[in-house]
Copies of this chain bind each other. A is one copy, B any other.
């Protein structure tokens, strides 16, 4: 079984949407990535940090999904990273109300010995130096390194971000971030420019408008599934990345054709994530539901025009 190494936050979120609000609940990029990747036949581990306030039941949940949590450091007396946000009515934009870095401020990731040869590394959104440190600890070249990041690091740590971007195979960012990183408005041109920064594959996430993957002159598009209700978009991008990296790790096939399947899987899993608050939907998601929705993706996109 292939190994998937996941690095990212394990955190508390407090979320407000037009449909309701939560107290502190389970959140964090690595949490969503891990839950999503647990749908594949891979051995996965999370490298992260939490405080002593982090409930054992949350750790138990990750373990119950087959995720190795031995590299989630628990800082004695420390407090877990906390984010609070409020979504606007269209759910496409949000205001950050609280960001408490807490134990994340001094996070030194330690890759477990038995994951230093992981076939796939999924670098969740974190400070680029943390992402770099993880790559430095690998003893075997991974088959695929996937990096997720956000505009915050483009604003505050661009040189460090560019350094780590050089070393990854796949970058996943949203459309606005792709424009910011490249200085190009056209996503085709943005992807071409980002290719020159290192990544052979550029995934551009457009939220409810789906996701594109570029590889040189090749491009593929995974739509978002049209849903009656989007309840809470938190974690959808991480769930997408977890589906993408989990599928690749399982199949151990890094061809562009296989990456098409991987972003369809990512979009599929993300479509469940948004149906309930936080991780709630992903906690109970069953394989037959995923397969049924893959059929919906097929019906949504497949056509048969005779090219006369």
Whether the Cβ atoms of A304 and B261 lie closer than 8 Å is yes
Which of B261, B265, B299 contacts A218, CB < 8 Å? B299
A261 CA to B294 CA in the complex, in Å?
Answer: 21
Whether the Cβ atoms of A186 and B228 lie closer than 8 Å is yes
Please indicate the chain B residues that have their CB under 8 angstroms from the CB of A226 in the complex. 187-188, 212, 219, 221
Please indicate the chain B residues that have their CB under 8 angstroms from the CB of A89 in the complex. 185
A287 CA to B212 CA in the complex, in Å?
Answer: 27
Which of B209, B230, B295 contacts A307, CB < 8 Å? B295
A90 CA to B307 CA in the complex, in Å?
Answer: 33
Closest-CB distance, A249 to chain B (whole angstroms): 16
| A284 interface contact, C-beta 8 A | no
A146 CA to B308 CA in the complex, in Å?
Answer: 25
Whether the Cβ atoms of A300 and B188 lie closer than 8 Å is no
Please indicate the chain B residues that have their CB under 8 angstroms from the CB of A227 in the complex. 186, 188
Q: Knowing A90-B185, A185-B90, A209-B206 touch, does A300 contact B230 (C-beta < 8 A)?
A: no
Give me 10 other A-B pairs in contact (C-beta within 8 A), A210-B223, A294-B307 excluded. Answer: A89-B185, A186-B230, A220-B299, A220-B300, A221-B223, A257-B304, A261-B304, A291-B307, A295-B307, A298-B305
